[in-house]
Chains A and B, each alone.
Chain A
Amino acid sequence: MSKIVLAIASLAILAACGQSEPPAQPAEGTDAAATASEAAGQVLNVYSARHYDSDKVLYAKFEDETGIKVNVRESGAPELLETMKAEGAESPADVIIASDAGALYRFQLEGFTQAVKSDVLEAAIPAQLREAEGHWFGLAKRARVIVYDPQLLPAEEVDTYADLAEERLKGELCVRSSTNIYNLSLLSEMIGRNGSEAAEAWATGVASNFARPPEGGDTAQIEAVAAGQCAAAIVNHYYWLRLATGTTEERLTAARTAVSFPDQDTTGTHINITGAAVSSTSRSPELAVRFIEFLTTPEGQALLTSETKEFPIVAGAVNPEGLDLLPAFKQSDYPLTDLGSRQAEAQAIFDRAGWN
């Protein structure tokens, strides 16, 4: 019974003392330069649901190495999808970057991804983390963990997702809205593993344990645990890591809580990805593949995860600072491709369960 459940108070404070220098600002290409390279046809249009300064460095690096000019449109994944629908076949997008396989699935469902073949990507990325035909590729990993107050709960009371539906946690849970893709994907895996009825029973149990109606993002749930408003919360691991490596105030918040990776003795903790897809409208899919391949290089992996605090997925890549605050853990091997197809059912179950 080895349970990987952590109380990392002092560690967090210690490790976070040396905060990383924010990456330098990339030089902005001038309009004239953009036109010149556009004339040469070497332009890559990226639709990204991420907003990180390190991404700008990433694009600049790729530009330097390949001479390909990168244009970026950043927005939420749903907005990007609707933008592409409005643009239709004329959409200039070459690459789509989004967090959560469920989000990438929506692009695939609407016909905005295309199957591409790349030996490099297939060798670098485990099969579980990419779409079988090459519609999208996982590039960084995140785990959906339980953050709890070690003063209020012993570790073994929150070491499975099923624990959260137990009556003993009545009035003790904080979690964000069920419309959020992270919760939808988590429940999708449960539907896939245990069937709809079991998944609904779980969601109903969790909803009846809420300390307050769902509000705010994952960070807000951790803050609520730290403040004593609830005893446990379901969040993605990196939100906790960002607090644990943040300002003094934020590190204190993280220090009051502990992280549990659920289901270590059984199926493993639910994971998800940040991934990329080649747009079906791309006029230069080979450039797009080249770019995605660049993201699996050690350099690409380091830049992708340095600010987000996700786990790199390519063997040998440097971990982002602070990741060593978390233990190695057993991750679920559930194929991420299946998450998207159960989204609608998951939302319906949440609605019936009263999980707003």
Chain B
Amino acid sequence: MELKTPAIRSPALGQILVLVAGLVIALPVAVVLMTGLTEGGGAAWTHIRDTLLTSYLTGTVSMLALTAMLCLLMAVPAAWLVTMFRFPGRGMFEWLLVLPLAAPGYVLAYAWGDLAGVGGPLQSALRDATGWSARDYWFPDISSLPGLSFVLACTLYPYVYLTARAAFISQSVCTMEAARSLGASASRTFWSVALPAARPAIAAGLALAMMEAAADYGAAEFLGVPTLTYGIVRAWKSFGEPAAAARLAFVLLALILTFVIVERQARGRAGIQQSSVRWRTISRVSLKGPAAMGAAALCTGLFTLAFALPVGRLVWRSLEAGTRVASVSDALLNSLILAGAGAAFAFILALIIALSIRGRGALSTFARLAASSGYAIPGAVLALGALAIISILPFAMTGAVALAALAWVYAVRFTAAGTEPMAAALARAPASIGLAAQSLGASPLRRTLEVDLPVAMSGAAAAALVLFVEALKELPATLMLRPFNWDTLSVRAHAYASDERLAAAALPALLITVAGLAPVILLSWQMSRARPGSNA
């Protein structure tokens, strides 16, 4: 026997659990793909292929390219500044800049659409100040592809910011001090040493951000930008052709797979670079005068655009409208229950998969891949799959069945987000612990239960919180599957916003954001603690 030490190996139970977890996740995806392959797609598909597919494809690809660029521009300089330098507000910005992650794309789209629209406060102020009419000046159009990219980058750049910051902290201290001691300037150190070393981590963060951007439905719909995901939902709801929607999903999945591969490869390479185990506190360079002001201004600007301004507008709108929390208390309760159920389901699946990773078996790879593809697939598509499956089964899509279906879709969609923190916890634990257990004669099952499980649970709080909030934010699948009297905050916000009643949408949108803050702050805090090098 070689040193392959599966955590869940021969015990049939473990294998079966992983298989079941994988299948549970893969099933809706597979059903959708099968529908796309086998069913004709109907007249709607011919229409979509001939007239819309090109614009969906170019729309999605250019939106992703622009979003990626904006994410990098927002995230990398800010991460570099807060990690390497000392300037007024630095410690605060370190975690403030993660907060935009709390607001889902569609919430920022509502807020920014309101702020930057022709009747919104920004343009009104401009007109009032200058006496111009709307046709006397040019103003960036928020209801456009660049507008969508901007909004998505605002909420997704923290993925890149987090990975970039972690990379700068963990990988560069020694090398960068070496570079500096050899007389390299700060900018040269950044471009020639730090950035190349951090590139895999940045790519991994960016791939995650791109998956989220590609899966966005609410923001694209609200801003009227034709993307593949928008097209999928439209094929379903306007043309009434699930098969055509499934074919579009196929195209999207191909695109997404590219990001999954990029992320995998980047992660693989990132692992190798973890060479030094000696940690030292980073000695931050103090910025003086204009440089310090510039750094603070850049961080302030980023935080204002991505969070303070849009969220502030939502606060203003709900105060102005006088919406009482009581008016959405039922939706709040529904959200908590549904997200709780979905998170619990996803958590169990994520735990099973995380525990199986050490084994590197085919089943584990399958389950992990299934989770990744589920994560990348828009909720609307998964809902289609769930609907198709349930239509075969002998019960009606009501009450408990619909709730179960929704929890299932949440689990399919988000398990990957829970697997990662637990997998990370396992990866941090030295392999020797497991080997020691094995050499002491512990059975693989016992080793899994008594060694790996407790280790994985150390990442559990973060995983559970992430899962919970992701489920809370989910929109399209909730729209499609929720049973009677089960409106959630996201559903309510969407309904009001589509009714052109932004004032009413503001409060539920705000509550989603507030709920989202908790795990974001926890994650940010954990990250800064997990890296001894960051103690400043």
Binding site for B on A (CB under 8 A): 22, 25, 28, 45, 51, 53, 71-76, 78-79, 81-83, 85-88, 90, 92, 110, 177, 179, 211, 215-220, 222-224, 226-229, 239, 242, 246-247, 249, 253, 351
Expressed in whole angstroms, the Cα–Cα distance for A220 and B498 within the complex equals: 12
Q: Is the CB of B391 within 8 A of A247?
A: no
Offer 19 A-B interface pairs, CB within 8 angstroms, sorted by A. Answer: A25-B326, A76-B498, A83-B480, A86-B391, A86-B397, A90-B396, A216-B117, A216-B224, A219-B500, A220-B117, A220-B118, A220-B500, A222-B119, A223-B119, A227-B118, A227-B127, A229-B134, A239-B500, A253-B119
- A24 vs chain B, min Cβ distance (A): 10
A110 smallest CB distance to B (angstroms) = 8
Report if A247-B499 is in contact (Cβ < 8 Å); known contacts: A82-B236, A92-B396, A216-B117: no
Residues of B within 8 A of A82 (CB): 236-237, 240, 242, 480
Report the minimal beta-carbon distance from A283 to chain B, rounded to whole angstroms: 12
In whole Å, how far is B359's beta carbon from the nearest beta carbon of chain A?
Answer: 39
Q: Most chain-B CB neighbours within 10 Å: which of A78, A215, A246, A253? A: A215
Residues of B381-399 contacting chain A, CB below 8 A: 387-388, 391, 396-398
For residue A77, give the distance in angstroms from its CB to the closest CB of chain B: 9
Q: Give the chain B neighbours of A229 by CB distance below 8 A.
A: 118, 133-135
Q: A81-B240, A223-B119, A227-B127 are in contact. Are A51 and B133 (CB under 8 A)?
A: no
B238 at the interface (CB under 8 A from A): yes
Inside 8 A of B495's CB, which chain A residues have their CB? 51, 74-75
Q: Which of B366-382 contact A (CB under 8 A)?
A: none
Q: Say yes or no: is B95 at the interface (Cβ < 8 Å to chain A).
A: no
Return chain B residues, CB-CB under 8 Å to A179. Answer: 238
Q: Which residues of B contact A92 (CB under 8 A)?
A: 396, 398, 484
Residues of B within 8 A of A28 (CB): 330
A218 contacts across to B, CB distance below 8 A? 500
Note all chain A residues with C-beta closer than 8 A to B498: 76, 217
**Shortest 9 CB-CB distances between A and B: which pairs?**
A223-B119, A228-B133, A229-B134, A78-B237, A71-B484, A227-B134, A51-B495, A219-B500, A217-B500
Type the 1/0 row for B501-514, where 1 means its CB is closer than 8 Å to any CB of A. Answer: 10100000000000
Q: Known contacts A51-B499, A76-B237; decide if A226 and B224 are in contact (CB<8 Å).
A: no
Q: Within the complex, what minimum Cβ distance (angstroms) separates A209 from chain B? A: 14
Q: A51-B499, A72-B484, A83-B480 known; A90 and B397 CB under 8 Å?
A: yes
Q: Are A79 and B479 in contact (CB under 8 A)?
A: yes
Q: In the complex, are the beta carbons of A226 and B119 less than 8 A apart?
A: yes
Question: Cα distance A218–B501 when bound, in Å?
Answer: 11
* A220 touches which of B119, B242, B391, B480 (Cβ 8 Å): B119
The answer to whether B480 touches A45, judged by C-beta atoms less than 8 angstroms apart, is: no
Q: How far is the CA of A86 from the CA of B500 in the complex (A)?
A: 28
Contact (Cβ within 8 A) A228 B134: yes
Residue of A nearest to B386 (CB): A86
Q: Which residues of B contact A90 (CB under 8 A)?
A: 396-397
Residues of B with C-beta under 8 A to A76: 237, 498
| B320 contacts chain A at the CB level, 8 A cutoff | yes
Q: Are B484 and A224 in contact (CB under 8 A)?
A: no
Contacts of B134 in A (CB 8 A): 224, 227-229
Q: Are B485 and A177 in touch, CB under 8 angstroms?
A: no
- A51-B495, A72-B484, A72-B485 known; A227 and B479 CB under 8 Å? no
In the complex, what residue of chain B is closest to A79 when comparing beta carbons? Answer: B237
| Chain A residues closer than 8 Å to B321, beta-carbon distance | 247
Interface size of B by CB at 8 A reads 50
Q: A53 CA to B496 CA in the complex, in Å? A: 11
| Known A215-B143, A220-B118; 16 more pairs at CB < 8 Å | A45-B484, A51-B492, A51-B495, A51-B499, A71-B484, A73-B484, A74-B491, A75-B479, A75-B480, A86-B387, A86-B397, A90-B397, A220-B119, A224-B118, A227-B119, A227-B133
Instruction: Tell me, in angstroms, the Cα distance from A217 to B134 when the chains sit together.
Output: 18
B487: chain A residues within 8 A (beta carbon): 74
Query: What chain B residues lie within 8 Å of A74 (beta carbons)?
Result: 487, 491, 495
Closest to A92 in B: B398
Select the residue from B141, B237, B327 with max chain A CB neighbours within 10 A: B237
Contacts of B327 in A (CB 8 A): 22, 25, 53
Contacts of A217 in B (CB 8 A): 498, 500
Residues of A within 8 A of B127 (CB): 227-228
Q: Quick check: is B528 within 8 A (CB to CB) of the other chain?
A: no
> Does B300 sit at the interface, judged by CB under 8 A?
no
Closest approach, in angstroms, between the C-beta of B159 and any C-beta of chain A? 29
**Which chain B residues border A351 with CB–CB below 8 Å?**
51
Q: Which of B97-147 contact A (CB under 8 A)?
A: 117-121, 123-124, 127, 133-136, 141, 143-144
Which A residues are in CB contact (< 8 Å) with B136? 228
CA distance A253 to B134 in the complex (A): 13
For window 321-361 of chain B, which residues contact chain A by CB distance below 8 Å? 321-322, 326-327, 330
Residue of B nearest to A253 (CB): B119
B:245-269 near A, CB below 8 Å? none
* Chain B minimum-CB-distance residue to A52: B499
Report the separation of the CA atoms of residues A51 and B320 in the bound assembly, to the nearest whole angstrom. Answer: 20
Q: Which residues of chain A have C-beta atoms less than 8 A from B330's C-beta?
A: 28
Q: Is B14 an interface residue (CB 8 A)?
A: no
Contacts of A72 in B (CB 8 A): 484-485
Query: Which residues of chain B have C-beta atoms less than 8 A from A249's C-beta?
Result: 121, 124
Q: Could you tell me if B480 and A71 are in contact, using CB atoms closer than 8 angstroms?
A: no
Residues of A within 8 A of B322 (CB): 22
B483: Cβ under 8 A from any A Cβ? yes
Give bound CA distance, A53 to B499, whole Å.
13
Q: Roughly how many angstroms separate A187 CA and B492 CA in the complex, as a whole number?
A: 31
For B143, the closest partner residue in chain A by CB is A215
Q: Which residues of B contact A253 (CB under 8 A)?
A: 119
Picked from B124, B320, B398, the residue with its CB within 8 Å of the CB of A227 is B124
Kindly list chain B residues whose C-beta atoms are within 8 Å of the C-beta of A81.
Answer: 237, 240
Determine if A51 and B240 form an interchain contact, defined as CB atoms under 8 angstroms apart: no
Residues in B with CB closer than 8 Å to A51 are 492, 495-496, 499
B480 close to A79 (CB less than 8 A): yes
What are the residues of chain B within 8 A of A223 when measuring CB–CB? Answer: 117-120
Q: How far is the CB of A140 from chain B (nearest CB, A)?
A: 15
Q: Which residues of A contact B388 (CB under 8 A)?
A: 86
Contact A216 B480 (CB under 8 A): no
Say yes or no: A228 contacts B480, CB within 8 Å.
no
List the B side residues contacting A25 at CB < 8 Å.
Answer: 326-327
Nearest chain A residue, comparing its CB with the CB of B239: A78
Give chain B residues whose Cβ lies under 8 Å from the Cβ of A88.
391
Q: A85 to B186, alpha carbons, bound, how many Å?
A: 62
- Inter-chain CA distance A78–B500, complex, in Å, is 17
- Chain B nearest CB: distance from A343 CB in Å? 11
